[in-house]
Amino acid sequence: MERTLPPLILGIESSCDDTSAAVIRGSQVLSNVVANQALHAEVGGVVPEWASRAHLSKIHPVVQAALDKSGIKASELDAVAYTLGPGLQGSLHVGTSYAKSFAWGLGIPSIPVHHMRAHILAHVLEPGDPPAYPFLCLTVSGGHTQLVKVNAPNDMEVLGQTLDDAAGEAFDKVAKLIGLPYPGGPVVDKLAKQGDPNAFAFSRPRMEGYNWSFSGLKTQVLNFLQREQAKDNQFVASRQDDICASVQAAILDMLMAPLRQAVEDTGITEVAIAGGVSANSGLRARLADAERQHGWTVHIPPMAYCTDNAAMIAAVGWLDVMESRSGTLDAAPSPRLPELTSLASKEET
């Protein structure tokens, strides 16, 4: 009997410290449950062992909550998609083991998913207007900064990437230097709105091609703060907003330069952003300006799909299932996966 409705996909995401499960039918998100781990804020960063143990306790109730909220029974699912990598090894093991076991018990395919490919393809989910292929995607998170040319869901070319630290990591490290709570990126963004982006000058290093390097900027900020604090021990407290605004302006200038160059070089004006830093209001404003001034068609994901979530994992599962792709039970999680291609194999006909 021919299928009349898109497949029902359960997505499971456990790459870092958020345990998430979602159910989608095609591009329609029926549920998207995310359980955060606030305990890491106490030490100013993610503790891998804590994250793994928290996933163990949360993953089953989170999956059950996603099924309950969607109104879908497990027996109705067509496949289970899960994050195979990149991410924290222990966290990935929890999600991978649970997802493969869940799918095996139901007798349905399990679909391994590349986490960063999922961030990019989150744009296919409702209520967004998916970019037309080919498009350029600036993927920015705490662990990754990449510029990707997306020719098709399973045809992506990395044009450039960070050579050291990710932009999201730079935000968090600077936040820590000035005493802001973890995760610091959203706090820097909030304070930057109240500050002067031209208050302090930081250089914007430019790498060859479409690549980035953020380690030098972090060192600049560290040296600057130490120098100014030596003159006035109340400097950071009194100028926090201006520091945040100036640092954010530097990071955003650095992010936008290769993107503008890539648009000019390729002629592709369909532009998207993805990853946790795509929630940054300053970056969103920069892209809106580029859309008005240069005629770009900009695609910005809803906030719920910026940070780690299982709906984007399920989206990749849906697209792979539609291409008759499936994974195997021996798929091993990996902290590093170089290629932004499908991790599931196409069934031979």
**Could you count the other beta carbons within 10 Å of the beta carbon of residue 143?**
19
* Separation of alpha carbons 85 and 64, rounded Å: 23
The total number of residues shown for the chain amounts to 349
3-state secondary structure of 293: helix
**CATH hierarchy code of domain 133-300:** 3.30.420.40
3-state secondary structure of 197: coil
Whether residue 10 contacts residue 67, with contact meaning beta carbons closer than 8 Å, is answered with yes
Pairing of strands 345-346, 325-326: antiparallel
Whether residue 108 contacts residue 99, with contact meaning beta carbons closer than 8 Å, is answered with no
- Considering the segment(s) 8-122+306-346 as one domain, its CATH architecture is 2-Layer Sandwich (3.30)
**Residue 45 one-letter amino acid:** G
3-state secondary structure of 314: helix
Positions of the chain with pLDDT under 50: 1, 349
pLDDT digits (tens, 9 = 90+) for 196-228: 999 999 999 999 999 999 999 999 999 999 999
* The predicted structure's pLDDT at residue 349: 41
* The predicted structure's pLDDT at residue 5: 87
Task: Name the β-bridge partners of 80.
Answer: 10, 110
Q: Domains of the chain: which residue ranges?
A: 8-122+306-346, 133-300
Pairing of strands 297-299, 270-274: parallel
* The predicted structure's pLDDT at residue 144: 86
* Separation of alpha carbons 330 and 100, rounded Å: 9
Q: Same topology for domains 8-122+306-346 and 133-300, yes or no? A: yes
List Cβ neighbours of 332 (8 Å cut-off, separation of 6 or more).
84, 96
**Residue 50 one-letter amino acid:** W
* The predicted structure's pLDDT at residue 277: 93
Whether residue 287 contacts residue 298, with contact meaning beta carbons closer than 8 Å, is answered with yes
pLDDT digits (tens, 9 = 90+) for 2-15: 557 899 999 999 99
* Separation of alpha carbons 299 and 284, rounded Å: 10
* The predicted structure's pLDDT at residue 1: 39
Whether residue 158 contacts residue 279, with contact meaning beta carbons closer than 8 Å, is answered with no
| End-to-end Cα spacing for the chain | 18
**Residue 319 one-letter amino acid:** L
